[in-house]
């Protein structure tokens, strides 16, 4: 991102403090500290369980599922963050109706275009494959599993359909397992992210066991030792994390309503609130998942991106840029950074 050059200064260090220019121009870096991690190579949004209805009715008579999604989009767009893709991990329409998918597109497509992000849709148990295909993918209808592969600037995102038509539990067929095995036979430049609805992890709410992913060992066998770096999932309506076949699993909560985990042991209580989505930052050696609440809250403090960059420079800290040129300037916090001309440290 470019900035205006101050009057009388024709250099490309516009907007930097004298201390920052000094840091960039000094011949030795003995008193500088390189940050422990470079900027992330990839940045994704992970949303799940929008549960939209086609009309104006509130979900279950009280939940403004559409309003929550619109609020999320508006708040995130103002942040200036620019992810490469938005990954939706299922239960996009509450009753699998075509009109709900059309409404979803009318909200998400302008939002994605405004931030320059690709959209990745994933099936859930509330979704209908036929309507999903026609409403979101502009494909002919049909009820075969909707499995896809996306190349996000060297990061492979694999969508695996864990839905079972007519049921709410999850399962991946043997044919899908073989398809996945073939995909993973060739490693991706920056590794793979697997996106699916039903998470292959234990459920902490007893009723969730009735709708868990079945035959998980079959999936584990094909994933173990592969280049899959993280598994993104939804379904549970609460944020949680675990490992599966040695791979980190991140479950995004719902954008519509959530499960109250303070309920009495063995019980289940859904609540109209505490909704969130996740930021996914992919680094060279790790993947970071950050839960982000939906809604406006009273600020305790605020430091602008420009002031943050100044403080880093004043402290003599340099953050190496990402190795992926598509991400430069697209990561929150990297705007106006005095480290933009540093070579990646590997």
**What architecture does CATH give domain 42-293?**
4-Layer Sandwich (3.60)
Return the domain boundaries, the chain: 42-293
Tokens of 85: 């893709």
pLDDT for 1 beyond 70: no
Helices 129-136, 98-115: axis angle to 10 degrees equals 40
Torsion angle of C-alpha atoms 231, 235, 241, 245, degrees rounded to 10: -40
Q: What digits encode the pLDDT tens for the residues 211-256? A: 999 999 999 999 999 999 999 999 999 999 999 999 999 999 999 9
Give the pLDDT of residue 25.
58
Tokens of 157: 């995102």
Distance CA 145, CA 3 (A): 48
Distance CA 338, CA 234 (A): 38
**Could you tell me the sign of the dihedral formed by the alpha carbons of 274, 275, 279, 280, in that order?**
positive
Torsion angle of C-alpha atoms 162, 44, 131, 74, degrees rounded to 10: 140
Work out the average pLDDT over 62-76.
98
Work out the average pLDDT over 83-108.
99
Tokens of 264: 């009495």
Q: What digits encode the pLDDT tens for the residues 256-265? A: 999 999 999 9
């Amino acid at each position: 991102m470019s900035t205006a050059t101050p009057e009388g200064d024709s250099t490309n260090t516009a907007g930097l403090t004298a201390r920052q220019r000094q840091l960039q121009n000094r011949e030795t870096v003995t008193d500088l500290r390189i940050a422990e991690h470079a900027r992330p190579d990839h940045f994704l949004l992970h949303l799940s369980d929008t549960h939209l209805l086609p009309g104006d009715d509130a979900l279950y008579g009280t939940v403004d599922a559409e309003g929550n999604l619109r609020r999320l989009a508006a708040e995130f767009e103002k942040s200036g963050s620019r992810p490469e893709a938005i990954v939706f991990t299922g239960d996009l329409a509450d009753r699998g109706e075509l009109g709900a998918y059309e409404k979803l597109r009318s909200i998400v497509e302008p939002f994605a275009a405004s931030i320059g992000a690709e959209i990745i849709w994933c099936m859930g148990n509330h979704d209908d494959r036929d309507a999903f295909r026609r409403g979101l993918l502009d494909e002919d209808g049909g009820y075969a599993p909707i499995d896809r592969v996306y190349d996000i600037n060297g990061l492979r995102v694999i969508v695996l359909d864990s839905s079972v038509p007519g049921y709410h539990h999850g399962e991946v067929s043997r044919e899908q397992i073989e398809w996945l095995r073939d995909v993973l036979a060739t490693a991706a430049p920056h590794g793979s992210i697997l996106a699916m609805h039903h998470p292959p992890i234990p459920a902490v709410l007893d009723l969730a066991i009735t709708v868990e992913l079945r035959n998980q060992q079959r999936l584990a066998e094909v994933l173990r030792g592969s280049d899959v770096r993280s598994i993104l999932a939804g379904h549970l309506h609460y944020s949680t994390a675990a490992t599966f076949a040695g791979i980190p699993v991140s479950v995004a909560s719902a954008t519509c309503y959530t499960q109250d985990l303070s309920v009495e042991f063995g019980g289940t209580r859904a609540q109209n609130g505490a909704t969130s989505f996740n930021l996914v930052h992919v680094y060279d050696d790790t993947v970071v998942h950050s839960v982000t609440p939906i809604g406006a809250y009273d600020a305790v403090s605020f430091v602008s991106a420009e002031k943050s960059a100044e403080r880093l420079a004043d402290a003599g800290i340099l953050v190496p840029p990402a190795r992926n040129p598509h991400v430069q300037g697209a990561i929150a916090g990297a705007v106006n950074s005095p480290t933009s001309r540093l070579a990646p440290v590997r």
